[in-house]
A and B are shown apart, each in its own frame.
Chain A
Amino acid sequence: MKLVLGYQSHIVVKKVIEKELENYGIPYKYHNSSQIEILEDISINLYKRLKKTLDEYGIQIKETQKEQFIQKIKDTVTELVYNDNYYSYKTSNIISEKLNLSYGYISNIFSEYTLNTLENYIILQKIERAKALILSDEHTLTEIAYILNYSSVGHLSSQFKKITGLTSSSFIKIVKRRNQLFAAQYNKD
């Protein structure tokens, strides 16, 4: 048997969007076929989940120019933090050069959108990389300080403690014991 189908894709898209928004319990209003107003503020996590769900249908949420710009800043920071060749240069200079705008302008836009300064964001990213390196057991803290271009191991230690409230050694101890505990629970279940 062969079925000949006729359909109107915009109706399909509309139904999918309605269904998913209702699934997530998000109140909305249609403006036109490609613009929806979300009537309540939703959390960033929920937004990401919704974006991912719609993505599976091939429906993309178009981000505003500003969001794209923030993404570009974030990508640049990630590139900086994970590319060891960059560390001999001043971070603000590289970011400014890469985005072809003044660092002051870039950091202003960034803090307006993310509730934190670009400087803190870079520090957080560096500390996260330090954590991964510490947990890999392949480097001493002194080597890690060198890789991440800290002036001394003391500087890295104090920044680590300032951000996490923990020393790097208690951090390792806690994460290892947590992993053991969770692995044991997993095996038991």
Chain B
Amino acid sequence: MKQINVLLADDDDDDRLFFSEAIEQLDLNISLEIAGNGMELLNHLHNPKSLTPDIIFLDLNMPIKGGMECLSEIRKSDGLKNISVAIYSTSSAEKDIEECLIRGANVYIKKPTDFELLKTILHKVIIMNHQYDIAGLSKENFLMVT
């Protein structure tokens, strides 16, 4: 099975641990890399030596450079604009969800507090993204809220 490269950008230690444990427990061949804030994320993405992620999980509220700003930069960059972006946020307000998707996110995840639920959601999102790759489908219409 081919490896799936996942990149997480989150400034909260606990959330990062929660996320990486959930990823580890999925029965998938995933390589996870973590950025501690938006600046780190973009530096990583622009570094030619980094692996290109198949999907980025992006926390909205980060210091220095927030999730929304990162999303806009990613969508404006020719080299990065085709990477799937999943916004990972505590807000479940309809307005926030719409705003993220309009600005180019593919997926909006309401951060769950339950570990098993997080695993289910991550599995669903990663598999769905992988299906688009497998099918060779354009991700232009890949929108998902979970």
Instruction: List chain A positions with a Cβ less than 8 A from chain B.
Output: 25, 41-48, 74, 113-116, 120-121, 124-125, 128, 131-132, 135, 163-166, 170-171, 173-175, 177-178, 181-182, 185
For residue B137, CB closer than 8 A to chain A, the reply is yes
Output the least CB separation between B96 and chain A (Å): 13
Residues on the A chain within 8 Å of B130, using CB: 44, 114-116
Size range of the chain B interface in the assembly: 20 to 34
In the complex formed, the residue of A with least CB distance to B29 is: A41
Query: Per a CB cutoff under 8 Å, which of B49, B104, B143 touches A25?
Result: B49
Q: Which residues of B contact A45 (CB under 8 A)?
A: 52, 54, 133
List of A residues within 8 angstroms of B2 by Cβ: 41-44, 47
Q: Does B146 contact A (CB under 8 A)?
A: yes
Query: What is the CA–CA distance of A174 and B51 in the complex, to the nearest angstrom?
Result: 31
The count of A-to-B residue pairs whose CB atoms sit within 8 angstroms is 84
The docked-state distance in angstroms from the alpha carbon of A175 to that of B138 is 14
Residue B61 CB within 8 A of the other chain: no
Q: A42-B3, A178-B102 are in contact. Are A121 and B135 (CB under 8 A)?
A: yes
Instruction: Determine whether the beta carbon of A124 is less than 8 Å from that of B135.
Output: yes
Q: Is B134 an interface residue (CB 8 A)?
A: yes
Q: Do A43 and B3 touch across chains, with their CB atoms under 8 A apart?
A: yes
Complex Cα spacing A44 to B133, Å: 7
Closest 4 CB pairs between A and B? A165-B145, A41-B3, A131-B141, A174-B101
In the bound assembly, the distance between CA atoms of A74 and B143 in angstroms comes to: 22
Instruction: Evaluate whether A128 and B134 lie within 8 angstroms (CB atoms) in the complex, with A41-B29, A115-B1, A177-B102 already known.
Output: no
